[in-house]
């Protein structure tokens, strides 16, 4: 936790807004998507999805393949607590919706469904979404909630990522959201494995890039990878672009 706080203070010292961006592509992304203040009609459905999870009294046994939780001491957890403390915030859900909508992403892959908060945000932006989840219990909660919310463009796939990812590497994805395992080793393994699925206009989003020093090391590796052209670091999320027509640049943007 202390690492993240220090990293955030350092980020604020170095980050800028749209006025520090000289790339037309990134400038438009920042001003028309990240800084978009319009009240989209889908926001009401996003908020309702979150509210329903906050109201549920269900408890589940979580199977955690990642680095564990900083909040929960046991694997038996209330669904509403997962939604409140471990799921995407309302602002994050809205932002993911805007990103999918802005780039008109048709084929989307998510690593880490959890209870489906980020999933719902992206799915309401359009396109078809495949969401991979290792824990059958949380995946079941997400699938039931998505069904109740009549969000029908999501396919939840249950299983260990090392197995379920194998079936995704021969496809091309417009957008991939990495939120399944907050370890450097796993993040880079997934990154390398999915590189063949990227095309020139793909957008990759990495969650919690300052969750730990290891995650930041993974982010630095990704930024410097020869196939990565442009990155936008918003602290909580890191955006990766592969556009060959762009100059290789890395941006830090306050959101």
Taking CA 62 as the corner, what is the angle to CA 59 and CA 67, rounded to the nearest 5 degrees? 140
- Residue 68: is its pLDDT beyond 80? no
* pLDDT one-digit tens code per residue, 143-169: 999 999 999 999 999 999 989 998 888
- pLDDT bin (cut points 50, 70, 90) of residue 92 is very high
Distance between CA atoms of residues 92 and 235, nearest Å: 12
Q: What is the pLDDT of residue 149?
A: 97
Residue 57: name the closest of 24, 81, 22 by CA: 81
Question: Given its phi and psi angles, is residue 230 left (phi above 0), alpha (psi -120 to 50 degrees) or beta?
Answer: beta
Residue 180: name the closest of 201, 153, 198, 162 by CA: 162
Q: What is the pLDDT of residue 222?
A: 98
Query: Can you point out the beta strands (E) in 1-120?
Result: 59-61, 76-78, 107-111
* pLDDT one-digit tens code per residue, 8-61: 999 999 999 999 899 999 999 999 999 999 999 999 999 999 999 999 999 999
Give the pairing type, strands 107-111 and 76-78.
unpaired
- pLDDT bin (cut points 50, 70, 90) of residue 73 is low
Q: What is the pLDDT of residue 104?
A: 98
* pLDDT one-digit tens code per residue, 222-233: 999 999 999 999
- Integer CA distances (angstroms), 132 to 118, 226, 238, 248, 251, in order: 12, 27, 20, 31, 29
Q: What is the pLDDT of residue 162?
A: 85
- pLDDT bin (cut points 50, 70, 90) of residue 247 is very high
Residue 122: name the closest of 148, 88, 147, 74 by CA: 88
Distance between CA atoms of residues 189 and 171, nearest Å: 17
- Residue 204: is its pLDDT beyond 80? yes
Q: Tokens 């592509």 identify what position?
A: 25
């Amino acid at each position: 936790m202390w690492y993240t706080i220090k990293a955030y203070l350092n980020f604020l010292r170095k980050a800028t807004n749209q006025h520090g961006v000289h790339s037309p592509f990134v400038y438009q992304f920042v001003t028309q998507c990240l800084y978009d203040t319009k009240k989209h009609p889908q926001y009401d459905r996003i908020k309702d999805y979150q509210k329903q999870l906050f109201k549920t009294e269900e408890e589940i046994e979580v199977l955690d393949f990642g680095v564990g939780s900083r909040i929960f001491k046991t694997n038996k957890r209330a669904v509403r607590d997962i939604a409140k403390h471990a799921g995407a915030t309302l602002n994050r859900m809205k932002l993911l919706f805007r990103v999918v909508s802005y780039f008109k992403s048709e084929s989307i892959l998510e690593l880490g469904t959890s209870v489906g908060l980020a999933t719902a945000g992206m799915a309401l932006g359009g396109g078809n979404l495949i969401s991979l989840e290792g824990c059958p219990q949380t995946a079941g909660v997400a699938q039931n909630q998505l069904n109740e919310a009549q969000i029908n463009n999501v396919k939840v796939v249950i299983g260990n990522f090392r197995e379920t990812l194998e079936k995704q590497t021969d496809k091309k994805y417009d957008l991939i959201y990495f939120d399944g395992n907050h370890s450097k080793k796993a993040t880079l393994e997934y990154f390398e494995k999915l590189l063949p699925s990227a095309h020139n206009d793909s957008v990759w989003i990495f969650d919690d890039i300052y969750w730990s020093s290891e995650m930041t090391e993974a982010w630095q590796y990704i930024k410097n990878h020869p196939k990565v052209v442009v990155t936008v670091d918003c602290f909580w999320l890191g955006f990766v672009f592969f556009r060959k027509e762009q100059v290789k640049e890395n941006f830090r943007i306050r959101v």
